[in-house]
Amino acid sequence: MDYYFLLKDCSVKTIKNVCSIKENQKNDKIIVLTEKGQEEILLQDVLLHGDEEYWKQVMELLNTIDRLKNNMVKKQLRKVWSIGYLMGLFKI
Q: Is the pTM of this model over 0.75?
A: no
Mean pLDDT of 73-78: 90
82: exposed, middle or buried (Cβ count in 10 Å: 0-12, 13-18, 19+): exposed
For 20-30, the pLDDT digits (tens) are 999 988 889 99
